[in-house]
Every structure is written in C-alpha cells, then in structure tokens.
Structure 1
Amino acid sequence: MATSTTSSVPVGSTGAGGGNTLRITGLNTGLDIDAMVKKMLIADQSKVDQAKQAQQLIKWKQEAYQSIITDVKDLQSTYFDITNSENYLMSSNSYNNMTATSSSESTVGAKASSNVTAGTYKILVSQLAKGATITGESKLEITTGEHIGDDVTDSTTLKELGITNTDGKVSFKVSYGSNGSTTSEKTINVNESSTIGELVNAIKNETEGAVTAKFDELTGKFSIQTTTTGLGSTLKIEDTNNALSNLKISESDKNVNKNGQDALVAIKEPGSDKYVTSTQSSNNFTVNGMSYTISDINSTVDITGSGIEVDANSTDSPVSISVTQDTSKVHDLISSFIDKYNNLVGEIQDKLNEKKDYDYKPLTDSQKEEMSDTDITNWEDKAKQGILRNDDNLQQLLNDLTSAFNTPVVDSSGKSISSFYFGSIGSNALGIDTSDDYSQGAKLSITDDQQFTDIITNHIDDIMKLFTTTSDSKDTTTKFNESGIFERINQIINNNVGVIGTTLNSGTLTKYANLQDDYSVTGGSGTGTLPDQIYQKQLLINTLTERMNADQTKYYNQFTQLEVAMEQLNAQQSTLSLYLG
C-alpha cells in the first residue's frame, strides 16, 4: 500500500535567497539543508559583498567630492558673485579706499572714487534738473454723472470729467525726445469709461516708461512729464479729439515743444578758494571722480554756464563733503578672502594626504547585523579615511591655484602690468605669499602686513591691476598670463564647479562627481564619472545576485530530490516491514 509523502514538504521562505518555494526541510535525511545551502553559497555571497563594498567606496568618494564642491561654491558665491557687492573681488568699487561723508544727505549725497583727492568739498545747488513737463493750469472737476461736486481721485472716469466722444474713445498724441529734438511719437488710446489711474498707466506703457503722468490729489492737477531730465529733454502733446481741454491743459501748452531744465551747481574742491559752476542734465552726476546726488536747493548763486568761478552768497548754506582715505576696507576684504581660501585649501590638502587604513573596509549587511549603530558609524568613519588620497583632479586644482598667484601678470607685450608683484621678497613685493611648506599646498599668508597696507594706501590702482585685470585673448595660456590674480582664480573655480547659479555642468569636479553618462545595458559607454562607476557596479551586483539566486534554487532543488528519494525509500522500507511483520 502507498504512503503519502506530502507531510514532509512544507512551503517556506528559508535559505540565503528567501522566496516562496516548495522546499524540503531535511526531515528524511536529517540534514540542516538551509545551513548547508548557505555554506554552499558563500562563494557567491562573497562576490556580491565585494561588489557592494567596491560600490560603497565609490559612493563615499562621491560624497567627499560633493562636500568639497559645496565649499568651493561657497568661496565662489562669497567673493566672485557680482550680485554680492559687499565682497565682490572683481569690482573696482571693492578697492575704493576713499570714503565720502556729506553734512546733509537730504540735500547732496556723494561717493568718492579711488582717484579723488582727500579733503573737504563744498557744493551749492541753485537749480535741480527736471524733465520736460506739461501741467494742467487748474484743478480737475467732475462735471457729469452722479458725483458732480465730489473731489477727483484716481478712480474718477474720464467721462465724469466731461471727456466724451460719440464712439466712446479718447486719444491724443505724445511726442518726446532728448538732445533738444523730438525722436518718438505715440498715440494714447483709452475709453471714456477709463479712470484717471488707467490713463496714467496707458501713457507710461505706450511710451515704455519714457513719459509718465501723474494726478496730484493735493493740487487736483494732472501733469505729463518725461523721465529723462535736462534742457535737452523734449515733450509735446497734440489733442486729437478735445481730450486735453478737460484735463485742464491750456491751449498754449498744446502742439508746442516743452523742454526740461538742467541742474545748476557750483563746487569748491580741496585747495581752491573759489566755487566753479557746472551745468548738469541729471541730478546724479560725476565730476573729477566724485559722484553727486542732489535732491534740494541750497543757494541763490547766479549760474549762467559751466566752468565759471563764483563766490557764495551770504545767504547760502553749502553742503560740505569730507573725503577721507580708509585702507581697512580693502585690507579686511583681502584678508577675509585669504582666511576662507586657506580653509578650503587646507581641507583639500588634508584629503590628499590622508592615509588609508586597509584594515577597515565597508561593512557587509551580515556584519552590520552584529554591530551597534555607534560601532557601525565609528567603523565607517575609519573606512572613509584616505578616500581622496592623491586624487588627480584635486591635486590639479591646487596646482592651478598656486600657479594663479605665482605666475607674473603681464600685458600683451610681456611686461609686468603692475609696479608690484605677488610675493614677499623685495621692496616691490606685495607682502602676500604662498606657503613654502609643501604640506600646506597653496595656502596664503600676509608676510608683511605693513608693506601690504602701505601699497593699499598709496598704490591702490596697482593693486587693482594686479588682481582684477581681464584679458580678451582667445589663447588659453595667453589669457591666463594677461589676467589678474583674482580673475584667474575666478576662472579656475568656474572650470572646476561651473559658473554661479549652475548645479549640473561640465566643470571638472562637478561632472566627475554628479553627471552620469552611462545608461547602457552593459555599462560600457560612459566617461568614467563617479555616477558611471556606481551604475556599472550596480549592474555587476545585479548580475551576481541573479547568479546567486539561480545557484540557491539549484541547490534546493537538488536537496529536494534527495529528500523525496529518501522519503520514498523510507516508505518502501515501512511497507516491507509490514509484510515481513
């Protein structure tokens, strides 16, 4: 008689690979099949673990690269971002060591360039610059509708002012220009239902901001004016359907060119006992390196032209502007750059010199299961050491940075562009030098602070040439030699991490750390970036895992066959025993 064998074949998920497979647990043979299969898969598991460990090392290297890229970008955004005006090393404003202080900012503000003479400047303002303006001669009134007698506001409609036409449209022409001539003409089209505020917007929009309009609720008057100021600015309006009369524009102001007015000032510079007159088309102007912003009148001096010497009147209250030299701004800016730069260089140099302890490899999953979180963290910190040791890209970056400082800055004829040079030896040395300690990489130090300060004080133009000169050469080597030191640094940073505002770019470090080129099935079409290497290792892990799973299934099938055979043998023996009783 036959004996059932299904009782010894349970459904389970045991073994190295798991899964829902029909497996024999060794009831008939007495063998620990799961343990035996696991041992048989040691070679397969070892290959998978090794591939995962190799991939983990690449991922750690990627993380280390990304950390350095972040710090390089931090240096870049702090000192080479044009929008960061306080610290932008490429702007002449950053090297301006002259400070101007006005006795009355509400009347005249001033800013001194680096080449102005220190001392006290005095300025008289007898007239402000204005744009060409046409203003209604009287207050606007509501003449129709339910609001007759009410005050006019921006929300009052043109129809309520009595501006109506059979087609409901309102239009007039505005002509404007500069240098005393009319260069543009625009037709302003609105509807009688449009408000005064909408008319104001229409004038600005149609002329692209060259002409603006305003309704003054205090005076009740409507005005049109050019945004450009000065005697040369012109404005003319032409009434095409009687719209302007209801805006209280007088007949004498229609169809004629109106001009703006110039600012009239008189300036007394240090060392002079007379004021010299000047006619300016704008209220913001520069004279001999001093930039002035005038906002109010403080003089009755009769100014009839430019370049005339005059005396102040007894009733005048001139604004005094004190210009002093301040070397601390430039000194502190360059010093702060050196500190941040040295921190970055030190970080890279440490990574390049960090020794690797080969006793610490990435942990396998089975190893992590036997360790605490703290032990895992400590182990991995050790395993990450030396991940960037002697890295070619980072070493090249440091070499380029060192060369940026040590290579003389020359003009197109090969002559030094500045009277001073980067270094610490000689009377014309800047007093800043790179470290002569190889282990310090390209770190900088101010070797002679007094000499550096003296050069800032007396030769700021030479400092600017040495640091900020740009070159138009298309040849890479020539461009490098003809560029100032900070211009070189800026370009080196761009070449390694990309220009400001970009994340994924072709910069050497960024591309190597972040850009994956290989998406092929076999993993052989990339450019060797870290994401490519991670991807290729993942393909290998997938292949080895599939192979291990296949071996596991094969081994379990073999043991299953053995168990079934043993169970059949046991059944036959049991039957035979019954017969032989």
Structure 2
Amino acid sequence: MADSTSSSMPVGTTGAGGGNMLRITGLNTGLDVDAMVKKMLTADQTKVDNAKKQQQLIQWRQEAYQSIIKDVKDLQSAYFDVTNSSNYLLSSNSYNNMTATSSDATIASAKASATSVAGTYKIKVDQLAQAATISGNQYLVSDVSKWNGGSITFNGSQITLSKTSTSASDLVSDINKQISESSDLNGKVTASLVTYADKDYINFTSTSENTISMSDIGETSTFFNSNTKLSELGINAGTTYSLSLNGSSFDFKATDSSTIQDLADAIKNGTDGKVTARLNELTGQFSIQTSDTGSGSKLSITDSDDILSKLGIDASKTATGVDAKVSIKEPGSSEYIDTTQNSNNFTVNGVTYSLTDVTAENESISISVTKDTSKVHDLITNFIDKYNNLIGEIQDKLSEKKDYDYSPLTDTQKSSMSDTDITNWETKAKQGILRNDDNLEQLLNDLTSAFSSPVLGSNNKNVSTLYFGNIGSNSIGIDTSDDVTQGGKLSIVDDAKFTDALTNHADEIMKLFTTTSDSKNSTDKFNQSGIFQRISNIITSNVGVIGSTYNSGTLTKYANLQDDYSISGGGGTGTLPDQIYQQQLLISTLTDRMNDDQTKYYNQFTQLETAMETLNAQQSTLSMYLS
C-alpha cells in the first residue's frame, strides 16, 4: 500500500511534519513552517497518492486474474490431462459403455470396447503365444540313473554320488549329504530341486564363484548369477566381442567390472529392444529371446567370438516363436471358432483378450460383456458442474458494477480505521475490477462458440449423426442457457436423450466430442475439432499447457509476464506486470519531485528566518541608540 503523506516530510518542532530530518523552524518569524510546507506540498502529495491508488487497482486486477487462471487450470487438470485416465474427456475409453468380467482372470481377462456385443463369451486357451528363444544349459534330471555313482568336482573338491537314488528329490538329498561331509565344501555349496515345465532340474548355489564338473554325467558348467563378472567365466576384460542377433550387429567391450547383466543389457540395446536376454537365477539358465511372440518371430545368432558359449548358448541353433491357440464362442453362437494369434493380447470383434495361462482340458472361461453408461454419464455431468462454476465466476466478474465511492485507501486513511473496516472498505473497492474485461469476454465467447458451432469434416459435412442441443431426434439433450446473464452455462435439458446417446450411439458421441483436426488453418482447425477438443484448445491458448505457470497463454501472459524493464517505462506490451512497473516508475518520479519541492520550500523559509533575524538585530541596535 502507499506510504502515508507524513512519511516523506521532515520533522519539526511544530506542526505535523514527518520524515527523519530534524529542523528547528519559526524562531524568528513565529510561523508554523512545518504545517505551512505540508499544505504547500498538498498538490504533490495528491499526485503521489493517486499514482499509488492506481497501482493498487492494477495489483487487485492482477490478483483477480490469477484467481480465474487458477480455476481454469483446475478444470484443465481435472478433465484434459492425459495422465488422468479416469477423467480424460479426450480419450475414447472414457465413452466406452461396455464392461467385461472374467470368470477366471488368472487365465484370461478382457476389455470390451463400444463396438463389442453384449452377452456371454466362452474362451478356451490351448496354447499361449511364445517368443523365439534359445537357451543355455541346465542341470536336467531326465534320468536319475545317469547321475547315480557319478562324481561332481567343485573347484577341485570331489564328491561321489550314491547308486541308490530313485528320484530327483533323492538325488538332491544325496548331493547335499555328500557336500556336508566334505570339509572343503560344507557351507559353501548347496543343491536344490527346481521343477519347471514339468521337468526337474538341479540348481547349485555357492557363496563364491566355483567351477563344477560332472564326471560320468557329461555336463560341465559354472556357478553364476546376474552380478557374476564376465571375467570369471573366461570372458577377457578389454576385449571387444562382435555379436549379431536377427541381423542387428553390435560390439560389446568387456571390462573388469562387466557382469552377466551388462551383457544382457548390451543385447537389448544393440537390437533396439527387439531381442532381449536374461538369466533365470532359479534354474541357472541364460536365455535369449525375441520381444515379439508368435510363429512370425524368428531368432538367429552369430557369435563369432564365442562369448555366448560361455553361458551355454549354442549359436548354431535357430528358433521360431509359437502362436497362441484359442477357441472362442461369441454370444448367439452355438459353436466355438478356433483361431491362432501371434500375441497373448489380441482384439477380436471389439473385445480385447489378455491370456496368462491355458485352460484345463474340456474347460472354458466365461467373459460377461454388459452395457454400463453410468460412468460416462457421471463424468460428463461432473464436468458440466465444474464448467458452470467457472463460467459463473467469470460472468459475475464481467457484470459486477463498480462503486466509485470506494477507492484504495492511503496509509494515512488506514491509520484511523480498524482492520475490519479496512477489509470491508477494500472489498467494496475491488468490486467491478474486471467489469467488461476484453480478454474474459473473448474467453466466454470462444467457449460458447465451441458448443454451438457444428463439428464438420474436411468436406464441410457433420462428422457425427448426433449434434449438440435439445431440438430434434438426433440432439444429445445438452444445451447452453438462453439467458445471456448466465454466460453460456450448460445443462442436461433432456436426460433421456442424453442417456440414449450414451447407450446406443457411443461411437457418434465420441466423434462429436473428441474428433481432432490436422489443419494448420485456425478456422478450419476449430470447425473440424470435436467439442471437448475445442474446449481443451481454448483453455490451452488462454492459460498454457498443463504444468506450466509462466507461458504465452493470453490470460497468463497478461497477468504474470513482465516485458518492460526499461528505465523510463513504456517499452513493454501492456501486461499487468508492465503496468505495475510503469506505475512504480511514476511514483518514484513524483516522490522525487515532491522531495525537491519540500527542500525548496524549507530553503525559502530559512532565508526568511535569516532576514527576520537580521531585521530584529537592526531594530534592537536602533532602539538602543534611540533610548
């Protein structure tokens, strides 16, 4: 707020002067110089006060703008933020009135689109789609008798297996028994049984890197995990290895710290993610596989430097993926239709299936697809409520009348008022601060036009069989208010029409609301965009994209961005911060001028005091001579 008048005045022994300078005045003339100077500065002080009042009005205008910007951005984040999928009005998923429920989501789940048919679907999964995969060695226990009586050496320490094991479980128990009886191996190595794809494997775990050799069993390998250094597998540090997977060639340079995981990452990066690699620490098996599944996926490897052979990969092998085999019986059909799919996620007749397991023989999963318009109905209804609150706020500000009996208070005026009186006064003074504001008027006009203008295609024909309004059989039952004082608020005039459109014409509703335009011409882009797409564009052009604070949006720039930093002012674009800055320059100029006038007046009274002092001295001398 403006400083009080007295804050720039000097202190005197009389009168009501102010400031921090001590003057002793009026000793010879008997005049109240401080009071007289203050009255002489009244015109200057009035100019300063008026400039400060004008600055306060601009600041209040800025605050009012910022409040509206905040509410506009709240509407934007609530309904036009792509990351807020549950309320995103520009997504086709938001208008989907179909829901799908699976009887066993652990095997197959589904999502229904607006084009799917309601009813009960039956699905049998005979085979899942698989990637093309080439895997390294595992300790497969295909025949226990081949292990019995054999020997296993861990870093030179050998154990001999018994000849009596009859199962893989017995074999694991025998191995751990022999290890526990070895002082060199006890506590350092353990064996465990892993069953994978109905096959038994032995997994060895070690507290340190150990080389294992299996005499009479015919396999040789090494203990490792994802963090095992490649140098411990015989892969030389400092050497550059060349690999080619499915035609993607790249080099991998091993370092002292390179691990198995680093090699897996190099394979993924070198093929742009089309081929990946991983180590299964449960089975101890390293595998390379395509990212795509299905019979169309192929895998071939060229390992000229034999780096992958250290991990049990046979580069001479090729692999082909496997298709999913599925049988589907749709509503109204009495027979299953067999189909093969190259992925476990696929869409058929508007239903997207996600497969995770196979069904038991002669069993099926039920998928129930039903219509449910409550979600989209509530979404649009809630949008209308929030939109109307914003429109009402803007319209109130545009139509609010100014009370010219109330203007910003000076500090001198505030000093004699209570806090409550000041608040009440300023509330009155702020009224009408945005009355008939051009930017807000344009915003309201644009928003109203977004609903009332037909959505056209590039051929200038309606893109949807439905249209906004309440008149006619193809209207959606939502319309804007005819009352101009309402600023174009929305209302669901005919809920039956609206519900029917959501239930039976969801695809046409989507066209009306979410159609996008690639046109570079602003008029064509507006006409060819769906209603909610228009609203999103209008909001963005006024307050910027989501997450931005200072931007070139019409309202945001006008309220927040200062362009003028010139010494004299007048170099900006007329934004509110520019106006505040320019007003501050004016206040400084007027204050300096008033201080100069104040100094001039005091100097003149000082000269008068000096003259009076001389006159009094002469009169005293003359009187002394005459007496």
| Residues 427-448 of structure 1: CA deviation (Å, up to 9, x unaligned) | 2221111111121111011111
- Following TM superposition, by how much is the alpha carbon of 1:489 offset from its aligned partner in structure 2, in angstroms? 1.4
Structure 1: give runs of 5+ residues left out of the alignment. 1-11, 177-182, 300-314
Alignment correspondent of 2:84:
84
Alignment correspondent of 2:307:
243
Alignment correspondent of 1:266:
327
CA distance in 2, matches of 1:142, 1:410: 77
2:129 is aligned with 1:129: yes
Contact 2:227 2:260 in 1 (8 A): yes
CA distance in 2, matches of 1:414, 1:160: 71
Structure 1 pair 229–387 and aligned structure 2 pair: CA distance change class (3 A): same
- Following TM superposition, by how much is the alpha carbon of 1:85 offset from its aligned partner in structure 2, in angstroms? 1.0
2:438 is aligned with 1:377: no
**Equivalent residues in 2 for 1:74-223, closer than 5 Å:** 74-139=74-139, 147-148=209-210, 151-161=223-233, 163-165=234-236, 169=239, 171=241, 173-176=243-246, 183-191=247-255, 194-223=258-287
Structure 1 pair 93–483 and aligned structure 2 pair: CA distance change class (3 A): same
Contact 1:175 1:185 in 2 (8 A): yes
| Residues 500-535 of structure 1: CA deviation (Å, up to 9, x unaligned) | 233223322222222223333332233322222222
Counterpart secondary structure, 2:476: coil
Alignment partner of 2:588 out of 514, 527, 542: 542
TM-score scaled by length of structure 1: 0.87
Structure 1 pair 550–170 and aligned structure 2 pair: CA distance change class (3 A): closer
CA distance in 1, matches of 2:522, 2:92: 25
Contact 2:324 2:344 in 1 (8 A): yes
**Equivalent residues in 2 for 1:473-512, closer than 5 Å:** 473-512=519-558
Count of residue pairs the alignment pairs up: 544
Question: Match for 2:52: what amino acid?
Answer: K
2:130 is aligned with 1:68: no
CA distance in 1, matches of 2:31, 2:56: 37
Contact 1:142 1:160 in 2 (8 A): no
Contact 2:244 2:303 in 1 (8 A): no
Contact 2:245 2:271 in 1 (8 A): no
- Following TM superposition, by how much is the alpha carbon of 1:244 offset from its aligned partner in structure 2, in angstroms? 3.3
- Following TM superposition, by how much is the alpha carbon of 1:37 offset from its aligned partner in structure 2, in angstroms? 1.2
Alignment partner of 1:256 out of 317, 324, 328: 317
Structure 1 pair 477–366 and aligned structure 2 pair: CA distance change class (3 A): same
Counterpart secondary structure, 1:69: helix
Question: Match for 1:224: what amino acid?
Answer: I
Question: Match for 2:310: what amino acid?
Answer: N
Contact 2:240 2:251 in 1 (8 A): no
| Residues 324-378 of structure 1: CA deviation (Å, up to 9, x unaligned) | 0001111111101100000000001111111111111000121112222222111
Alignment correspondent of 1:6:
none
Structure 1 pair 39–91 and aligned structure 2 pair: CA distance change class (3 A): same
Alignment correspondent of 2:517:
471
Contact 1:470 1:487 in 2 (8 A): yes
CA distance in 2, matches of 1:149, 1:481: 73
Alignment partner of 2:351 out of 290, 311, 323: 290
CA distance in 1, matches of 2:278, 2:428: 72
- Following TM superposition, by how much is the alpha carbon of 1:498 offset from its aligned partner in structure 2, in angstroms? 2.1
Alignment correspondent of 1:46:
46
CA distance in 2, matches of 1:407, 1:239: 64
- Following TM superposition, by how much is the alpha carbon of 1:170 offset from its aligned partner in structure 2, in angstroms? 6.7
Choose 545-554 or 263-272, whichever is displaced more. 263-272
CA distance in 1, matches of 2:48, 2:345: 73
Question: Match for 2:362: what amino acid?
Answer: D
Counterpart secondary structure, 1:212: strand
Question: Match for 1:248: what amino acid?
Answer: G
Contact 2:249 2:270 in 1 (8 A): no
Contact 1:17 1:552 in 2 (8 A): no
Structure 1 pair 244–398 and aligned structure 2 pair: CA distance change class (3 A): closer
CA distance in 2, matches of 1:571, 1:196: 109
Structure 1 pair 186–60 and aligned structure 2 pair: CA distance change class (3 A): same
Counterpart secondary structure, 1:160: helix
Choose 437-446 or 486-495, whichever is displaced more. 486-495
Alignment partner of 1:342 out of 367, 373, 388: 388
Contact 2:238 2:253 in 1 (8 A): no
Counterpart secondary structure, 1:228: strand
| Residues 18-40 of structure 1: CA deviation (Å, up to 9, x unaligned) | 3547x332222222222221111
Choose 71-80 or 546-555, whichever is displaced more. 71-80
Choose 568-577 or 380-389, whichever is displaced more. 568-577
Choose 331-340 or 269-278, whichever is displaced more. 269-278
Structure 1 pair 472–152 and aligned structure 2 pair: CA distance change class (3 A): closer
Identity over aligned residues, as a percent?
66
2:465 is aligned with 1:419: yes
CA distance in 2, matches of 1:247, 1:192: 18
Instruction: State the Cα RMSD in Å.
Output: 2.6
Counterpart secondary structure, 2:467: coil
**Equivalent residues in 2 for 1:326-365, closer than 5 Å:** 326-365=372-411
CA distance in 2, matches of 1:504, 1:119: 51
Question: Match for 1:18: what amino acid?
Answer: G
Contact 1:354 1:389 in 2 (8 A): yes
Question: Match for 1:461: what amino acid?
Answer: D
Contact 2:467 2:475 in 1 (8 A): yes
CA distance in 1, matches of 2:136, 2:405: 90
2:450 is aligned with 1:404: yes
Alignment correspondent of 2:196:
none
Alignment correspondent of 1:7:
none
Question: Match for 1:148: what amino acid?
Answer: N
Choose 35-44 or 341-350, whichever is displaced more. 35-44
- Following TM superposition, by how much is the alpha carbon of 1:143 offset from its aligned partner in structure 2, in angstroms? 5.4
Alignment correspondent of 2:339:
278
- Following TM superposition, by how much is the alpha carbon of 1:579 offset from its aligned partner in structure 2, in angstroms? 6.8
CA distance in 2, matches of 1:331, 1:87: 12
Counterpart secondary structure, 1:122: strand
Choose 354-363 or 266-275, whichever is displaced more. 266-275
TM-score scaled by length of structure 2: 0.81
CA distance in 2, matches of 1:416, 1:237: 55
- Following TM superposition, by how much is the alpha carbon of 1:115 offset from its aligned partner in structure 2, in angstroms? 0.5
Contact 2:108 2:357 in 1 (8 A): yes
Question: Match for 1:504: what amino acid?
Answer: Y
CA distance in 1, matches of 2:231, 2:525: 66
Structure 1 pair 218–105 and aligned structure 2 pair: CA distance change class (3 A): same
Question: Match for 1:280: what amino acid?
Answer: Q
Contact 2:129 2:343 in 1 (8 A): yes
Contact 1:190 1:202 in 2 (8 A): no
Alignment correspondent of 2:170:
none
- Following TM superposition, by how much is the alpha carbon of 1:277 offset from its aligned partner in structure 2, in angstroms? 1.8
